[in-house]
Amino acid sequence: MSRSLKKGPFVETRLLARVAAMNEAGKKEVVKTWSRSSTIFPEMVGHTIAVHDGRKHVPVYVTESMVGHKLGEFAPTRTFRGHKQA
């Protein structure tokens, strides 16, 4: 179920503020975040965001096609090692 239009998309305010500050300064540095549920905004395009997967931070380079998706979609939490041999 999608989020109500009157509420708008969720994004962690601290993350959005850091990206906005980097856009103003013209910097491109990695931003660490634990907020997997934050929506990717157009302001984030071109930045690398390190998303926590429960164990480590996975660097995610944000492109235009990712806008509207959640950060957690691009940092898998489980590793598939194959089916067990019988």
Q: Are 46 and 66 in contact (CB under 8 A)?
A: no
b/e code 61-86 from CB counts within 10 Å (16+ = b): ebeeebeeebbbebbeeeeeeeeeee
- 7 pLDDT above the threshold of 80: yes
Beta bridge partners of 60: 49
How many structural domains compose the chain?
1
Question: What digits encode the pLDDT tens for the residues 33-62?
Answer: 999 999 999 999 999 999 999 999 999 999
Domain limits at 66? 29-73
* In-domain check, residue 59: yes
Within-domain flag for 19: no
Q: What confidence score (pLDDT) does residue 56 get?
A: 96
Look at residue 86 in the predicted model and tell me its pLDDT. 75
Cα angle for residues 67, 49, 74 (degrees, 5° grid)? 60
CATH number at residue 46: 3.30.860.10
pLDDT at 4: 87
Q: Is residue 14 part of a domain?
A: no
What is the per-residue pLDDT for 47?
96
- Average pLDDT in the 9-29 region? 94
40 assigned to some structural domain: yes
Q: Is residue 67 part of a domain?
A: yes
